[in-house]
Amino acid sequence: MKEQILKEYGLSDNEIKVYLASLSLGTSRVNGIAKKAGLLRTTTYEVLKYLIERGLASYTIKSRIKCFEAANPNKLVRILEEKKERVKSILPELESLKQSVTEKPTIELYEGKEGLKTILDDIIKTKPKEMLQLGSAKIFETLNFYFPQWIKRRIKARIHAKILQEKTPAIEELRKNDKKELREIKFLPKGFKINTHTQIYGNKMAILTLNKEELVGIIIENKDIVETQKSLFWELWKIAKR
């Protein structure tokens, strides 16, 4: 038990053997410590030098002979406390270094109808207060049963939606329930063609292809990318019509 804890503290097997041998012997010559630890004298001497450097052992000279003694076990705790305080003193600098590193985007790829459903499920699981959608009406054909049910789940989760959509009779009918369904739909200018379905939520954006022969969706998680896409969305929002 004690050996395992000392190993977690950072001591090697030989260092543990020498420290415990020295601790049990009190002030002792290197030969006695080596015998107790079951190590060669030269190995024991090198380990003792290292323990002295770490403050875990000391030596005195008696009759021109070096005698070694292990530090009080309380010293182990004091050393840890000193290390903790030293690390705390440089925490602001370490945090600054971390913040200076550019965040790497996380990209997840999904395929097929089940893959697209997984992406839409992630929006509900993330629970953003608002999501932005640049969508094609084809989503209702591609996920003809699932998507209307997903809308109900979005409403239940109190996720508000801002939607830029192609103008179709079905979407115009859908828009009549905007207020009740926590949604605001605007129509893109005539001729503005959308072949994919994009959702922006939290620090993520999802892009779904709606070609039934090759259904693919990706989730990108990256603050900078998402902020850029949000800016583009709001520029389109300005020119869209109700």
3 state SS of 209: strand
Structural domains of the chain in order of their starting residue, each with its CATH number: 2-73 (1.10.10.10), 106-239 (3.30.870.10)
Q: Could you read off the pLDDT of 83-139 as tens digits, one per residue? A: 888 888 888 887 777 666 556 788 999 999 899 999 999 999 999 999 999 987 788
Return the pLDDT at 99: 65
Please report the DSSP string for 86-142 in residue order: HHHHTHHHHHHHHHHSPPPPEEEEEEHHHHHHHHHHHHHHH--SEEEEEE-THHHHH
Mean pLDDT of 144-171: 89
Q: Could you read off the pLDDT of 204-221 as tens digits, one per residue? A: 999 998 877 788 999 999
Return the pLDDT at 102: 58
Dihedral pair phi/psi, residue 127, rounded to 5°? 55, 55
In angstroms, rounded to a whole number, what is the distance separating the alpha carbons of residues 121 and 59? 67
Q: Could you read off the pLDDT of 2-51 as tens digits, one per residue? A: 888 888 888 889 988 988 888 899 888 999 999 999 999 999 999 899 88
Q: Could you read off the pLDDT of 67-85 as tens digits, one per residue? A: 989 888 888 888 888 888 8
What lies within 8 Å, CB to CB, of 85 at 6+ separation is none
Angle at 118 between CA 139 and CA 163, to 5 degrees: 40
| Confidence at 147, pLDDT banded by 50, 70, 90 | confident
| Confidence at 201, pLDDT banded by 50, 70, 90 | very high
